Chain A
Amino acid sequence: MWNGVKRLSALAAILLLTIVVSACNKGDASGKVQIEFFQNKPEAKGSFDKLIAQFNQEHPGIEVTQVNPPEAETVLLTRVVKNDVPDIVGLGATDTYSILAQSGIFTDLANTELPRTVDPIYLKMLKDVTGVDPVYGIPYAANANGVMYNKKLFREMGLQVPKTWDELIATAQKIKAAGKIPFYFTYKDDWQTNLPFNALGPNLVGIDFFLQRRENQVTFQDKYREVAEKQLELLKYGHSDNFGKNYADGNRAFANGQGLMYIQGSWAISEIRKANPKVELGFFPFPTGNDAKAVKLVSGIDTLLAVSESTPHKKEAEEFIAFLLKPENSKQYITEQTLFSAVKGVTQDDPSVAELLPYFKSGRVIDFADHYIPKAVQLNSIVQAFLQNGDIDAYLAKLDREWNKVANRR
């Protein structure tokens, strides 16, 4: 028996030792500065891998490694709990970023060269989202939310790109009358249900609404009735199983010509092309109202780059971000990902998004609504439930109630 005990304690000692050793492993053996780059886009892993390989080659003293787990935002939050913030974080400008920025875990980069290379409109967007002044993140790439359409099928039916809400509905009616699917909805995934919401809200009500909502000066019940009505209106022009198909189903179906329009973000383009490389895609901003000139393109920061406050390698981290922001590297990234660069002077040349470029050029862009809504409100599930039961009063009341509840808990 004593033998067994000895063996057990030996085992325990080995266990302890491995824990100690693996804890030490964080320090580097090669003499290089190790930088961890954590980012949340699985689609972008390959693109970043290429850029990182190039950076590591050019900087023999630094070694950047990419970490891209599934459910990245949740993983990031749990790592912050453990005080184990990655050196560089790549994240969308969402409520998660906003919470993290407010918790002061990122370095203020306002006094570096980095913010000067990017478009000020995105820096302002970050300020609005977080409600804080320091530049905790450098906008890197932006996306667009609008209506994708199948150019070939549009041509065959002789349809024009709609510029106003009425034209959009008229187009949908024509398509429906021809026995085809106007919009391919993928509302089994709750985050898909809020794409029209994200376009309608900021355009019809404005982003200021959320800043005032935070101060409790306005309510959804006052301002969002039109948004809700239009959300419901769209549902008439879907297919037979709007709530049964998810995002992946939709990308496949739309790529193969089911549905002429697809309310979606630019992030889906690469997925759709994977399903059918020959599909002719077009993309127009969501015409939310009847003044064609007032329509703004909904565009949010798809990825921003932030440096941890606690990292001992701030200088090297900034060097890596500066490398990513170089026009040629940014161009390579947005070309592969069909995104839009936040870097001044870098343009997206993909024909599928050509119709969106004038909006970027003239600054007619507006941020996503849900970037301003606390995550705990769980907007997506509220919208999804509303589209199922169609009760506008209950929906708007629920938005206000949930918002207040969350504000009260903070």
Chain B
Amino acid sequence: MNKRLTTFYWMTVPAVLLFFIFLTLPALQGFYYSLTNWNGFGHQYHFVGFKNYINLFQDDNVGNAYWFTFKFAIVVTIAINILSLLIAMGLNAKIRFRNFFRGIYFLPNILSVLIVGYIFNYLFSNVFTIWGQNLRISSLSTNILGSEQLAWVGVVIVAVWQGIAFNTILYLAGLQTIPTSLYEASNLDGAGKWREFWSITFPLIAPFFTINMVLAMKNSLMVFDQIVALTNGGPGRATQSISHLIYTGGFRGGEFAYQSANSVIYFIVIAIISILQLRFLQRREMDN
């Protein structure tokens, strides 16, 4: 064998092996268990075929979790992308203390989601309510996380607050790839700021827009930590995301096989969404 090729094999084969052992194998195992009635710890289980999958489609808790997760993911993805693009443009402009602001905006990304969640949990129940009472705004004087209708808004606020940081960094990187000569030229042609944004900035950072949309969507479809720290899926099941349902049902409820089936379906759904998103947004990049 060619000596150079050997080196490349040394690089790829272990990676493939590790990937297979730690990712592919457990996924296959999960699929296998989804065909059984295993509770997760007993010594015996039986094959039940596709019964778990049939039950899944009749379970309103599952439907409820999907509905919440999608609603949440769409709102969060849009909010994060709009806000982080705005912030990134601000941070890219020649303002004073630019590096200082960049540091500040990146801070939420460094903090652990769980800790942020617990802090906000305290704020929602003990601080914002007092502000609401003092300002005599009735909707703010009770904890919104305790309301079936509003709890999801609270989770969205925290998820967006924290999610913005990372996407801002990506947009900043994108903005810096745009040559300043383009702006100088458009200035000479007398283009306004708005025109400049739609005709130069936005088309040129299109690849970054794509990746940010996909990442934000994927992250918010898999929302888990925020839910645990803020509402634990409640009140009732009003804020139960799919991954939270899989965790509580599978590990704490002793329905490992049933929730394995749920995660197989969930995996397929996320894969399809990501592929569709990539194809659609990348085609848009080409058009421009």
Please list the residues of chain A having a beta carbon within 8 angstroms of any beta carbon in chain B.
Answer: 1, 5, 73-74, 77-78, 80-81, 96, 99-100, 102-105, 187-190, 240-246, 249, 374-376, 378, 381-382, 384-386, 388-389, 405-406, 408-410
Given contacts A378-B248, A381-B234, 4 further A-B contacts (CB under 8 A): A77-B251, A105-B41, A405-B59, A406-B253
Q: Which of B100-108, B235-243, B266-274 contacts A (4 or more CB under 8 A)?
A: B235-243
**Which residues in chain B, 169-211, are within 8 Å of chain A measured between CB atoms?**
none
Encode contact with A along B246-273: 1 for CB under 8 Å, 0 otherwise. Answer: 0011011111001000000000000000
Chain B residues with CB below 8 A from A244, complex form? 124-125, 129, 142-143, 145-146
Determine if A240 and B141 form an interchain contact, defined as CB atoms under 8 angstroms apart.
yes
Chain A residues with CB below 8 A from B117, complex form? none
With an 8 A cutoff between CB atoms, is B55 at the interface? yes
Determine if A246 and B254 form an interchain contact, defined as CB atoms under 8 angstroms apart.
no
Expressed in whole angstroms, the Cα–Cα distance for A244 and B133 within the complex equals 14
With an 8 A cutoff between CB atoms, is B43 at the interface? yes
Contact of B41 among A77, A386, A389 (CB under 8 A): A77
Chain B residues with CB below 8 A from A5, complex form? 10
Expressed in whole angstroms, the Cα–Cα distance for A189 and B230 within the complex equals 10
Determine if B43 and A388 form an interchain contact, defined as CB atoms under 8 angstroms apart.
no
Give 4 nearest A-B pairs by CB, closest first.
A385-B236, A244-B143, A243-B146, A376-B253
Taking CB as reference atom, which chain A residue is nearest B4? Answer: A1
Determine if B145 and A188 form an interchain contact, defined as CB atoms under 8 angstroms apart.
yes
Q: List 28 A-B contacts (CB under 8 A).
A: A80-B41, A81-B41, A96-B252, A99-B41, A187-B235, A188-B125, A188-B145, A190-B234, A240-B141, A242-B146, A243-B142, A243-B146, A243-B235, A244-B145, A244-B146, A246-B125, A375-B253, A376-B249, A376-B255, A378-B237, A378-B249, A382-B236, A384-B234, A385-B235, A386-B236, A388-B147, A388-B235, A409-B258
Determine if B40 and A384 form an interchain contact, defined as CB atoms under 8 angstroms apart.
no
Expressed in whole angstroms, the Cα–Cα distance for A375 and B247 within the complex equals 13
Expressed in whole angstroms, the Cα–Cα distance for A188 and B237 within the complex equals 12
Chain B residues with CB below 8 A from A410, complex form? 37, 39
Q: How many Å from the CB of A76 to the closest CB on chain B?
A: 9
Determine if A376 and B236 form an interchain contact, defined as CB atoms under 8 angstroms apart.
no
Q: How many Å from the CB of A99 to the closest CB on chain B?
A: 5
**Which residues in chain B, 1-52, are within 8 Å of chain A measured between CB atoms?**
7, 10, 37, 39-43, 52
Interface of B is mostly: loop
Q: How many Å from the CB of B7 to the closest CB on chain A?
A: 5
Determine if B236 and A99 form an interchain contact, defined as CB atoms under 8 angstroms apart.
no
Expressed in whole angstroms, the Cα–Cα distance for A240 and B235 within the complex equals 16
Determine if A409 and B255 form an interchain contact, defined as CB atoms under 8 angstroms apart.
yes
Contact of B143 among A73, A190, A241, A374 (CB under 8 A): A241
Expressed in whole angstroms, the Cα–Cα distance for A74 and B248 within the complex equals 9
Determine if A241 and B235 form an interchain contact, defined as CB atoms under 8 angstroms apart.
no
Chain B residues with CB below 8 A from A103, complex form? 39, 41-43
Expressed in whole angstroms, the Cα–Cα distance for A189 and B258 within the complex equals 26
Chain A residues with CB below 8 A from B277, complex form? none
Q: How many Å from the CB of B72 to the closest CB on chain A?
A: 17
Q: How many residues does chain B have at the interface if contact means C-beta atoms less than 8 Å apart?
A: 40
Chain A residues with CB below 8 A from B141, complex form? 240-241
Determine if B142 and A188 form an interchain contact, defined as CB atoms under 8 angstroms apart.
no
Taking CB as reference atom, which chain B residue is nearest A82? Answer: B41
With an 8 A cutoff between CB atoms, is B163 at the interface? no
Determine if A190 and B232 form an interchain contact, defined as CB atoms under 8 angstroms apart.
yes
Encode contact with A along B42-75: 1 for CB under 8 Å, 0 otherwise. Answer: 1100000000100100010100000000000000
Chain B residues with CB below 8 A from A382, complex form? 236
Determine if A187 and B55 form an interchain contact, defined as CB atoms under 8 angstroms apart.
no
Expressed in whole angstroms, the Cα–Cα distance for A240 and B124 within the complex equals 15
> Which among A375, A381, A405 has the greatest number of chain B C-beta atoms within 10 A?
A381
Q: How many Å from the CB of A242 to the closest CB on chain B?
A: 8
Encode contact with A along B129-144: 1 for CB under 8 Å, 0 otherwise. Answer: 1000000000001110
Expressed in whole angstroms, the Cα–Cα distance for A405 and B61 within the complex equals 11
Taking CB as reference atom, which chain A residue is nearest B55? Answer: A409
Chain A residues with CB below 8 A from B129, complex form? 241, 244
Chain A residues with CB below 8 A from B59, complex form? 405
Taking CB as reference atom, which chain A residue is nearest B253? Answer: A376
Taking CB as reference atom, which chain A residue is nearest B238? Answer: A385
With contacts A77-B254, A246-B125, A388-B236 taken as known, whether A241 is within 8 angstroms of B146 at the C-beta atoms is yes
Chain A residues with CB below 8 A from B236, complex form? 190, 381-382, 384-386, 388
Chain B residues with CB below 8 A from A78, complex form? 251
Taking CB as reference atom, which chain A residue is nearest B233? Answer: A381
Expressed in whole angstroms, the Cα–Cα distance for A388 and B142 within the complex equals 14
Expressed in whole angstroms, the Cα–Cα distance for A99 and B125 within the complex equals 36
Determine if B147 and A243 form an interchain contact, defined as CB atoms under 8 angstroms apart.
yes
With contacts A249-B126, A409-B37 taken as known, whether A381 is within 8 angstroms of B255 at the C-beta atoms is no
Q: How many Å from the CB of B238 to the closest CB on chain A?
A: 7
Expressed in whole angstroms, the Cα–Cα distance for A410 and B42 within the complex equals 12
Expressed in whole angstroms, the Cα–Cα distance for A3 and B41 within the complex equals 45
Q: How many Å from the CB of B254 to the closest CB on chain A?
A: 5
With contacts A243-B235, A244-B129 taken as known, whether A188 is within 8 angstroms of B252 at the C-beta atoms is no
Q: How many Å from the CB of B52 to the closest CB on chain A?
A: 7
Contact of B148 among A74, A245, A388 (CB under 8 A): A388
Q: How many Å from the CB of B116 to the closest CB on chain A?
A: 17
Determine if B234 and A405 form an interchain contact, defined as CB atoms under 8 angstroms apart.
no
Determine if B42 and A381 form an interchain contact, defined as CB atoms under 8 angstroms apart.
no
With contacts A249-B125, A375-B252, A409-B37 taken as known, whether A187 is within 8 angstroms of B238 at the C-beta atoms is no
Expressed in whole angstroms, the Cα–Cα distance for A180 and B240 within the complex equals 35
Chain B residues with CB below 8 A from A375, complex form? 252-254
